[in-house]
Amino acid sequence: MKKSFKNKVRLIGCLIIVVLLGYALAVNQYVQEAGDKYIREPESVPEGDAILVLGARVYADGNLSLMLKDRLTTGYELYQEEKAPKIIVSGDHGRKEYDEVNAMKDFLKEKGVPSENIFMDHAGFSTYESLYRARDIFQVKKVIIVTQDFHLKRALFIARELGLEAYGVTADKHIYHSATLKSELREVLARNKDFLTAKIFKPLPKYLGEVIPVTGDGRVTDDKE
């Protein structure tokens, strides 16, 4: 009797795992397909209010990771093609010693983009928060999102769920050593999390603040002399 009960518990446990795994894979596929519809080649992407470059790792010495360099280069190329008049760089600047956004702005300024055309989102702590703040703080309605393909589909899904007219351009200019099986599994989990976040719960970001229309001067987001 005890053995039979244990076998039933194991069977039920296995069935629950299979159902949860099936659900996670289905959501993962749904988010990818929803976002993939709005990925365009640089020459054919519709014009927008702003190009949104999503942040990535900046090293302790101030150097940008290869992924981030490629995102910024792609964003710059779109700006040069006049796909949008302004660029928003959104990333993590939650600690004084770690600053993605000033490093991103410096990269674009060195390319010749005027400071007034670059807006820094210092509180882009997640993809969801970056897009929510693009809509509510920077008053963007039509946005071109720039990041790597694995990330772009999720970003576009979130943007569309938040009501943004969003299109995306991939920034895959290299093969990245960080693109491992572990990172792919992490992205599956992120797609499942953001499916719930963007489609159902829609929580407020950690920080909002005063409105800074992207039609204005990007220098108002500067926090350094």
Position 84 scores a pLDDT of 98
Q: Which of 147, 144, 18 has its CA nearest to residue 71?
A: 147
Residue 219 lies in a domain: no
Residue 215 lies in a domain: no
Total domains present in the chain: 1
Q: Which of 148, 120, 154, 147 has its CA nearest to residue 134?
A: 120
Position 31 scores a pLDDT of 98
Residue 110 lies in a domain: yes
Residue 142 lies in a domain: yes
- Reading the block at residue 152, the tokens are 């772009």
Residue 216 lies in a domain: no
DSSP state of 185: H
- Where does the pLDDT of residue 5 fall: very low under 50, low under 70, confident under 90, or very high at 90 and above? confident
pLDDT digits (tens, 9 = 90+) for 26-84: 999 999 999 999 999 999 999 999 999 999 999 999 999 999 999 999 999 999 999 99
pLDDT digits (tens, 9 = 90+) for 67-126: 999 999 999 999 999 999 999 999 999 888 899 999 999 999 999 999 999 999 999 999
- Where does the pLDDT of residue 2 fall: very low under 50, low under 70, confident under 90, or very high at 90 and above? low
Q: Which of 148, 146, 87 has its CA nearest to residue 112?
A: 87
For residue 40, give the H/E element and its range: none
Position 176 scores a pLDDT of 87
- Reading the block at residue 115, the tokens are 């400071």
Position 1 scores a pLDDT of 53
Query: Any bridge partners for residue 90, and if so which?
Result: 54, 121
- Where does the pLDDT of residue 11 fall: very low under 50, low under 70, confident under 90, or very high at 90 and above? confident
**pLDDT over 70 at 221, yes or no:** yes
pLDDT digits (tens, 9 = 90+) for 143-197: 999 999 999 999 999 999 999 999 999 999 998 877 677 788 899 999 999 999 9
**pLDDT over 90 at 4, yes or no:** no
The residue with greater pLDDT, 134 or 185, is 134
Q: Domain containing 172 — which CATH number? A: 3.40.50.620
Residues in the chain: 225
Is the CB of residue 136 less than 8 Å from the CB of residue 208? yes
Residue 225 lies in a domain: no
| Look-up of token digits 């809509």 | 135
The residue with greater pLDDT, 178 or 221, is 221
Residue 133 lies in a domain: yes
Position 179 scores a pLDDT of 65
Residue 224 lies in a domain: no
Query: Any bridge partners for residue 168, and if so which?
Result: 39, 145
Domain that holds residue 19: 2-210
Is the CB of residue 97 less than 8 Å from the CB of residue 54? no
